[in-house]
Structure formats: structure tokens, C-alpha cells
Amino acid sequence: MLVRLLYASRAVEPLTQEVVDQILAVSRKDNPAHGVTGLLCYSGDIFMQVLEGGRDTVSELYNAISRDPRHRDVVLLHYEEITERRFAGWTMGQVNLARVNPSILLKYSERPVLDPYAVAGAVSMALLEELIATASIVSRPC
């Protein structure tokens, strides 16, 4: 059974491009063997990530992320069983929201910043859909 899980977290240490690149490299290396696809958004110290794959695999991955000492304030924003993947083209796509037009963020929140803690999970999913539609995702395909 396929599922989609969306969570948010805050980085414990200052978020640098090197840290993001390391996270993406590990994800892109490990995810194909586990059948996981998804997208990582980041801005400031906030991560928002969607994971798709088998229920057990995604649950185990989320639990590992929740225990990872590099994260704090890990919050499950959205979880659903799905019939098809929406993020199938990415072993782990990325969006640096500092490079996205602020009007896209403002469309989904009170301020033009990423704050998944202040909006409903469905709103965060809608933001991700918009980022797909506007080709804001950078990645290496699966």
C-alpha cells in the first residue's frame, strides 16, 4: 500500500547549503532501493518534506527522522493512503524557498515565508502542488 507523508522540522544547527546537499545525497542514494520518492523544501532553519512509498518503509523513515538529533520540533502535517505517487519523478527533489517568488508563499500563508507550523497540512500540500506546477523543483530524476 502506498502512502504520502508530509512533516515539518527545525534544524538544530544553522542550515547551510553543505548540510542540505549532504541530506539530499544520502536520500538520493538510499531512497531508490527502498522505493521512496519525495520532495524537500527548506528556508531558514525550517524543513518541510513529503515522502511517498510503502506504508512500512515511509513510517520507518519518518520515525528515524523524528529521532535524528539534527532535527527538533518534528511535526506530522499530513498523512494519506494514495493510489498513485505525485512525486514519482524525484528520488528527492528540492526547493530552496529563498529562490521562489514570495507571492507563491504569500498565497498560502499570512506572510511570504515558509511556516508549516502556522497552516493546515492541506495548505502545505497545496503549496507543494503549486511548486510542481511552477517548475520550482530542482532535482536529479529517479
Average confidence score pLDDT of the chain: 87
Q: What percent of the chain is predicted at pLDDT more than 90? A: 48
Q: How far apart are CA 53 and CA 91, in angstroms?
A: 11
| Confidence band for 136, pLDDT divided at 50, 70 and 90 | low
**Which pLDDT tens digit goes with each residue over 23-70?**
888 888 888 899 999 888 888 889 999 999 999 999 999 999 999 998
The pLDDT, as a whole number, for residue 89 is: 76
